Each structure stands twice: as C-alpha cells, then as structure tokens.
Structure 1
C-alpha cells in the first residue's frame, strides 16, 4: 500500500472516531410512567413522550421511557444520569429502596405533577416518609385548584441553574395547581424556585369554592439542596371533561406549549444531567 495513502486512511479513521466521540450523548434520561389514571395525566404522558425525544435530539442527550417499574433497580438505573417520574411513583419496597440509593449516590431526578401526590387511605397512600417528607419535603397532598387554568409564576431564586435566563414572572400553561401539607418555606433544605404570583388570584374557576384560591403562598417548582432533583407541579393538561359521556376527552391545552416554561424544564434537565448539587 502507498505510504501516503496509508497515512491518509489513518487520519480519516481518527477524524471519524473523534467525531463519533464528540456527538456521543451528553447524558441519558429514563422516564417512568403508568399512564392509566385520569385522562389529563395520560394526555400529558403522551405529550411528554413526544416532546422529550425532540429535546434530546436538539440538546444532545438520550431519552428512553418505560411503564415497567420493575426496572427501577440498581443495575438498570446505573445506565442513566437522570430519572423522570411523569405521573406516578414506585410502590414496591425494593423499587423505593433502589430509587433512594440512586439519589443518595448522586443521580438526577425530575418529577411532574402527580408524582408527588400522596393521601392517606387513597390508592396512593401516605406511606413513603423519605420520599414525601424528606426528599420532596411537601408531605401529604392538601388540595387543588379547579378547573385547570393558567397562572402567573414568579422566580424565587434567580441564581439557580433551573431559572437561568427566565423572566422574573411569566404566564404558565393551564394546570391543576396543588397545595401541600408542609410549608416549604420553613424547610432549610428546600430551595423554592418558582411560586404562584399574587396577580394570579383568584386562581381556579370551581365550581367548589375550595377549588378557587384567593390568597396564599404556593410553591410550584423546587429543589432539595441535598440531592440533584427538581419537582415541577405542571403536568395536568386541560381536558374536555364536559363530553366524557361521548368519550371525547379532547385535550384542550398542552404542558409543553410554552417557550418560557419549556426553557425552565430544559434548564432542569441539563443541570440534572451535567451539573452539581446547589446548596
């Protein structure tokens, strides 16, 4: 073989290998979901499984999703830098133990809306103290607004990677907003990132008076300083509930139809996948 040709082949091979290494995914994301209860949550899960792959291609990370919660084990989780809970939480003790170990060892996590829900004597009982009281800090579910409506959100911590380049206030997508048992402001380990701005009140349309909030402090995005985690209260699309009899259940709003809110979620993913804990 001609010596110059041989050198050229080697150079081309090296360049191709370097290019392949450069385009390798920055980090890997795995989303767990159930997708069976409440049409609004199901709609969100389907939307998320369309939107996240688009973001993965744009921001150079990989995205997988599964309904098999048995995959929540140490061996499987070792392949991923970020875990998402799109709608529910793990229920089996061994799954919960594996997730806690994953987080304590530096894994990243983002949970949406219903993933933080717990209520005594319900299908999702208040029976996981570490997750709800220590990790999330929120404790038991308290109440919610109805029906799903937009809200003006305010940035509470401008220095956190999650809120990078966000305006001081912005209009969120329609959502069912949650109130919690615990006051997160009293927990020194919790870093409140976004809360409902007072200009949102009254928030909700009812018909029950308890479903309309007129005042109060309601965090909607926060992190725990001891973990790489972000909880996002968004994740409940508005649905045409009035036509349930016809089984229409048409989606009336989309969680990922908001550029500013999307930027916050992308910021969160990139921080969870590549960043460090923020004290």
Structure 2
C-alpha cells in the first residue's frame, strides 16, 4: 500500500501543476491588449479639437472594451523598446519625422505590429511643412502618395462600404452618413495598387460635396477612397479626423465632432479591437 501512495501523490501534484499552468496561460491569452496614440495637436484648432476628442473617446472605449489606452505627444517614444509594450499604434494627427523614429516605426510594422492612422497622418505635400520625404510610408505603406486636394468646409458625406465582409466593416450598413469632415484626395489611384483594399469611399449621392467658397474645394464627381488597408500589413488608414470650427467669425467654436457618429465609431472600434486581438493575422486581398 505504501509503495502506491507516493506515485498517487505525485500524480495529483502533476495534475495541480498542469492546471495552474493552463490557468496562467489562459489568463495571459485574455490579458488586455495595449494601444498607444501619438499626436502633435499644434497650430490648427480643428486638428487640436479632434485630437482632444479622440483621446477622450479612446480612453472610454478602452474601459468599455477591456483594453489599455495610453497617449503621448513625445515622438521620441517612437523607438523599439517603447513600441514593444503595445499591440496597436495610432497616429492621431501627424507622423514621425526623424530618421530614427521612422526606422523604428517601419520595423515595428514589418514585425507584425498594428496601426491606425487618422486624417492628417496621411498628409504629405512638397513644398510644405510636411513634405513627401518618406517614400516607404507614403508610397508603399499607405500607397496614396502625396495629398492632392480637399473639400471645404468640413461636411458630412454618404460613405459606401466597398467590402461588407471585411472584419472592419462587418457591422456597417451598405451606406451611411459620416460625421462632418474635410475630405482628402490623393496623387495615386489606390484602385490600381494590388496590395490596397479600399473599405470605404465617397458615395455618389454625396455630390456636390463641400460648400466653398473656392469652387475647386467643392467636389461634383469622381472616385474618392476614405478608408483602406494595405494587405501586407496589419493597418488601417481613415480620412476622418477634422472637426468643423468657426474660423469665419474668429470664435474658434467647435461646430462638429468626429466621434459624435455611432456608425462611424463602430467601424473604428471594430478595426481597433480586431487589430488588438488578432495578434499576427493579416487579411489578404480577395
């Protein structure tokens, strides 16, 4: 009898150890993912208003959906050691400018990092304070090249869902009305890039889009993508991120808010949750 007792205790200990190990692994697999939002929030009141709003909305979304959200305006944090803490990186309004910051971000994305960029994060115009001097980012990663033009004033648009089966768009109707925004056009035709999957575009029922007074800032026709992913990376660019501001009367009063639109919010949140939880998954083009 005594000779059977020790193996029996050993078996129980092994079972308990295995149970604790599996429980630890389960806790690790369900631990909240971490998101870091980089921003600048200087100069343009419309962009500053949007960034402040975005940080508040993302902080609440993190609590409601069980992930961690941090934000920083220190772009020197764009380094390998800092980025290793986070599963998703956001560019809320601008982009990194130093060679070291740019190299760190490219390596992060090439090593299965995830990213969402908003509105001005895609902007590049030569000559300007934000010239197109980062070919990997603007031509390969985003695929759109330089900024070409925009609508004015910020107005809502009817957006068309180009792929309703994509994880980012699966909860969206075929078309929906956006929050007011300044809409960008681009140098390159994204439809000709096999790596790019366009998810949202301006629906033709939106035209004329913009109110002027400059006529070239009112769109009457054409194809304008406003949200897309590059299927070689875990990423999403969305053109939204410019609140309407009362510039004319010099009050700088906020006249619209980007995150006041529940359907648009659902799209952004679904993308964020998928990128944060999917780890290394990449969605290929059909």
The normalised TM-score by structure 2 is 0.88
- Does the C-alpha gap of structure 1 residues 25 and 41 become closer, same or farther in structure 2, counting only changes over 3 Å? farther
Structure 2 counterpart SS, 1:64: strand
Q: 2:107 aligns with which of 98, 101, 116?
A: 101
The worse-fitting range, judged by mean Cα deviation, of 22-31 and 118-127 is 22-31
* Larger Rg, first or second structure (1 or 2): 2
Give me the whole-angstrom Cα distance separating, in 2, the residues matched to 1:165 and 1:75.
35
RMSD: 1.7
Alignment partner for residue 243 of structure 2, among 237, 240, 247? 237
CA distance in 1, matches of 2:89, 2:253: 29
Q: For residues 118 and 253 of structure 2, what CA distance do their matches in structure 1 show?
A: 21
Q: CA deviation at 1:62?
A: 0.3
Partner of 1:265: 268
C-alpha deviation, 1:242, in angstroms:
1.4
1:80 aligned to 86, 107, 126, which one? 86
- Give 1:121 shift: 1.4
Q: Equivalents in 2 of 1:190, 1:23: separation in Å?
A: 31
Give how far 1:23 is off.
11
Q: How far off its partner does 1:272 sit? A: 1.1
TM-score (normalised: structure 1): 0.91
Unmatched runs of 5 consecutive residues or more in structure 1:
1-13
Contact 1:25 1:62 in 2 (8 A): no
Q: Is the 8 A contact 1:190 1:225 kept in 2?
A: yes
Q: How does 1:1-279 map to 2 (within 5 A)?
A: 21=27, 25-244=31-250, 248-275=251-278, 276-279=281-284
The CA deviation string for residues 226-247 of structure 1, in whole angstroms up to 9 with x for no partner, is 0000000000000011122xxx
How far off its partner does 1:185 sit?
0.2
Kindly provide the CA deviation profile for residues 107-154 of structure 1, in whole angstroms up to 9, marking residues without a partner as x. 000000000000001100110000000000000000000000000000
Residues 161-219 of structure 1, C-alpha deviation per residue, up to 9 Å, x if partnerless?
11011000000000000000000000000000000000000000000110000000000
Query: Any runs of at least 4 consecutive aligned residues in structure 1 with deviations exceeding 6 A, and if so which?
Result: none
For structure 2, the residue ranges without an aligned partner over 5 or more in a row are 1-19
Q: d(CA) in 1 for partners of 2:110 and 2:140?
A: 12
Shift of 1:22: 8.0
3-state SS in 1 of match to 2:258: coil
CA contact (8 A) 1:23 1:60 kept: no
Tell me how many residue pairs correspond in the alignment.
261
Partner of 1:7: none
